[in-house]
């Protein structure tokens, strides 16, 4: 027993409606260690972090911090106990200065109520200097800083608060190579000061470079905690995937048609130089971890993310990426955030379905209401949308039924290329398989499908081809029939390098 236990997690469980996010998870984090936490999407990493930061409450189990029961009621309690969480989305006041952010709530005063700005800037500079970040102007508003500088401001704030346990959620996801190296130096400084770090990352090479210990979670369960020397990239990936029961997916469309869509050298701020072609009747999955650029690729194809370079052709014709032109060319997108972007909550089922194709049920701009009802009614029947009436507001339907409405409006409009963004995220298993059936049916009818998904089972179960993205570039193009989860993860995580 070389090191003391900093944090002992004992049989912690947390359930959300329909899913057990954490199932009796137990492991220990040793004092002064950098403890890596890995797992696929949905493994329970975020939930665990939220519980430690008190952004969520556990259902059962207990946690000891420095041997004392740790029962924070809110994030302030966690902060006061010395646990600082650096999320991917920072908790900073963007328009306020660096020093105001670092010293927030601890502003030095000489006279009560009057902030001593001189002392404030000196103190902030001192802390930043210990992080080798003396170059940051403490009076600059935080919104002018780069991502890595914002991260340093968060860390400085945690240091000022005398945090002893730092939780870092994908800290390198948005950093370039140089910034990553700078962050690693900061991590070395923190460790030298005796801090303990819980480090969540998808990038296995970083974990082998930094970690003392690694814990693997899968489907909410604890799989393994081991010193880094006892694991390999391959063993970690095997632990992350496990041996799942194969779900029954509909058969893939056997006869692919002509090329329908071609993307050449497409670049945006989130990815560069992506090229691929798509045939009628084909299901092409695009997968990758968060920050890989897959979401932005889906949006860019539909004109919802600005394109910097490259071109898209549909049926051999140049294609202008904006939603109305895309729809006119037969390319549609079912967005990831269905409640906000896929449907309009306070409009009724009928209008949500007909909205994208009102022109076809109208003459001279006047809507033929009977025709509109017929079109919407047909989709409600075909898709089995559970709604008391066509006049029901969509906001009152369940998530799965809202997703069916979001899909139904494009079936009514009759598209040829479907971009489905995380189409089964957050919907229950039954509806999930209805969505899979629908995708397979569409492809048999000759529609091409681009499935942007983080869910490996559906990628493997549906796709003819799989594009894997990593750090804003295409990492691999794999045959959907022969590839497996291990191969995809290897490319997505960069374990092949």
Q: Which tokens go with 400? A: 């799965």
Out of 341, 428, 477, 486, the only residue in the binding site for other proteins (CB under 8 A) is 341
3-state helix, strand, coil in the chain (%, to 5): 35, 25, 35
- The region of 155-163, 342-350, 397-405, 462-470 touching other proteins under the rule CB under 8 A is 342-350
Query: Nearest Cα to 82, choosing from 160, 5, 27?
Result: 160
Block residue for tokens 């927030």? 104
Cβ 362 to other proteins shortest distance, Å: 5
Out of 366, 370, 388, 482, the only residue in the binding site for other proteins (CB under 8 A) is 366
Out of 173, 356, 473, 476, the only residue in the binding site for other proteins (CB under 8 A) is 356
Q: Which residues contact 68 (CB under 8 A, 6 or more apart)?
A: none
- Residue nearer to other proteins on the CB measure, 65 or 333: 333
- Residue nearer to other proteins on the CB measure, 119 or 367: 367
Pinpoint the alpha helices (H) of 204-286: 204-210, 233-241
User: Should residue 344 be labelled a site residue for other proteins when binding is judged by CB under 8 A?
Assistant: yes
Burial 129-161 (b: 16+ CB within 10 A, else e): eebebeebebeeebeebeebbbbbbbbbbbbbb
Please list every residue from 309 through 338 that binds other proteins, using CB under 8 A.
323-324, 326-328, 333, 335
Out of 18, 134, 242, 359, the only residue in the binding site for other proteins (CB under 8 A) is 359
Block residue for tokens 């500088």? 149
Out of 104, 362, 371, 473, the only residue in the binding site for other proteins (CB under 8 A) is 362
Q: Which residues contact 116 (CB under 8 A, 6 or more apart)?
A: 107, 108, 109, 110
Please list every residue from 369 through 398 that binds other proteins, using CB under 8 A.
369
- Residue nearer to other proteins on the CB measure, 26 or 324: 324
Please list every residue from 418 through 437 that binds other proteins, using CB under 8 A.
none
Q: Which tokens go with 444? A: 């048999």
Taking CB under 8 A as the rule, which mask of x and - marks residues 443-482 in contact with other proteins? ----------------------------------------
Q: Are 384 and 434 in contact (CB under 8 A)?
A: yes
Cβ 394 to other proteins shortest distance, Å: 10
User: Should residue 351 be labelled a site residue for other proteins when binding is judged by CB under 8 A?
Assistant: yes
| DSSP conformation letters of 441-477 | HHHHTT-EEEEE-S-HHHHHHH-SEEEEEETTEEEEE
- Residue nearer to other proteins on the CB measure, 103 or 334: 334
Taking CB under 8 A as the rule, which mask of x and - marks residues 289-308 in contact with other proteins? -------------x-x----
Instruction: Output the CA torsion sign for 238, 240, 244, 249.
Output: negative
Cβ 121 to other proteins shortest distance, Å: 34
Cβ 301 to other proteins shortest distance, Å: 13
Q: Which tokens go with 191? A: 């460790």
Q: Are 329 and 347 in contact (CB under 8 A)?
A: no
Out of 82, 171, 342, 400, the only residue in the binding site for other proteins (CB under 8 A) is 342
Cβ 361 to other proteins shortest distance, Å: 9
- The region of 214-222, 259-267, 354-362, 446-454 touching other proteins under the rule CB under 8 A is 354-362
Out of 8, 355, 371, 378, the only residue in the binding site for other proteins (CB under 8 A) is 355
Cβ 322 to other proteins shortest distance, Å: 9
Q: Which tokens go with 344? A: 């309009």
Counting Cα atoms < 13 Å in the Cβ hemisphere of 85 gives: 21
Q: Which residues contact 187 (CB under 8 A, 6 or more apart)?
A: 34, 197, 210
The Cα 226–Cα 216 span in angstroms is 9
User: Should residue 241 be labelled a site residue for other proteins when binding is judged by CB under 8 A?
Assistant: no
User: Should residue 95 be labelled a site residue for other proteins when binding is judged by CB under 8 A?
Assistant: no
Residues that bind other proteins (CB under 8 A): 302, 304, 323-324, 326-328, 333, 335, 340-347, 351, 355-356, 358-359, 362, 365-367, 369, 409
């Amino acid at each position: 027993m070389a090191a003391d236990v900093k944090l002992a997690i004992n049989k912690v469980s947390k359930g959300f409606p329909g899913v057990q996010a954490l199932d009796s998870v137990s492991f220990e984090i040793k004092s002064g260690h950098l403890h890596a936490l890995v797992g696929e999407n949905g493994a329970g990493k975020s939930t665990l972090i939220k519980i430690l930061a008190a952004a969520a409450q556990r259902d059962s189990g207990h946690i000891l911090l420095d041997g004392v029961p740790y029962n924070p009621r809110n994030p302030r309690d966690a902060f006061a106990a010395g646990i600082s969480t650096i999320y991917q989305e920072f908790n900073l006041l963007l328009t306020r200065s660096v020093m105001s952010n670092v010293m927030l709530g601890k502003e030095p005063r000489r006279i009560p109520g009057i902030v001593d700005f001189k002392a404030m800037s000196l103190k902030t500079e001192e802390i930043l200097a210990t992080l080798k970040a003396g170059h940051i102007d403490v009076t600059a508003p935080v919104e002018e800083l780069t991502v890595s500088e914002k991260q340093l401001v968060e860390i400085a704030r945690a240091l000022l608060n005398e945090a002893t346990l730092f939780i870092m959620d994908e800290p390198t996801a948005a950093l370039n190579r140089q910034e990553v190296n700078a962050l690693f130096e900061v991590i070395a400084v923190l460790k030298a000061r005796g801090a303990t770090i819980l480090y969540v990352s998808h990038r296995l090479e970083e974990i082998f470079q930094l970690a003392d210990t690694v814990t693997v979670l899968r489907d909410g369960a604890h799989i393994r905690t081991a010193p880094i020397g006892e694991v390999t990239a391959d063993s970690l990936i095997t632990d992350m995937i496990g041996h799942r029961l194969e779900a029954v997916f509909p058969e893939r469309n056997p006869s692919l048609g002509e090329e329908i869509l071609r993307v050449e050298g497409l670049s945006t701020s989130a990815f560069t130089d992506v090229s691929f072609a798509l045939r009628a009747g084909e299901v092409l999955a695009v997968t990758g971890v968060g920050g890989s650029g897959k979401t932005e690729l889906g949006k860019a194809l539909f004109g919802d993310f600005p394109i910097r370079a490259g071109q898209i052709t549909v049926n051999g014709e140049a294609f202008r990426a904006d939603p109305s032109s895309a729809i006119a060319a037969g390319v549609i997108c079912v967005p990831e955030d269905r409640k906000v972007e896929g449907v309009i909550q306070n409009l009724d089922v009928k209008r949500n379905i007909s909205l994208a194709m009102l022109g076809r049920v109208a003459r001279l701009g006047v809507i033929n209401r009977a025709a509109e009802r017929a079109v919407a009614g047909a989709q409600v029947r075909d898709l089995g949308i559970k709604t008391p009436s066509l006049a029901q507001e969509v906001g009152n339907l369940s998530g799965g039924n809202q997703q069916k409405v979001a899909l139904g409006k494009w079936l009514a409009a009759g598209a040829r290329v479907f971009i489905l963004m995380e189409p089964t995220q957050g919907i229950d298993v039954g509806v999930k398989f209805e969505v899979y059936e629908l995708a397979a049916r569409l492809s048999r009818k000759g529609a091409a499908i681009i499935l942007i998904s983080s869910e490996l089972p559906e990628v493997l179960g549906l796709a003819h081809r799989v594009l894997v993205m990593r750090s804003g570039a295409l990492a691999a193009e794999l045959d959907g029939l022969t590839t497996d989860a291990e191969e995809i993860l290897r490319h997505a995580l960069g374990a092949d390098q």
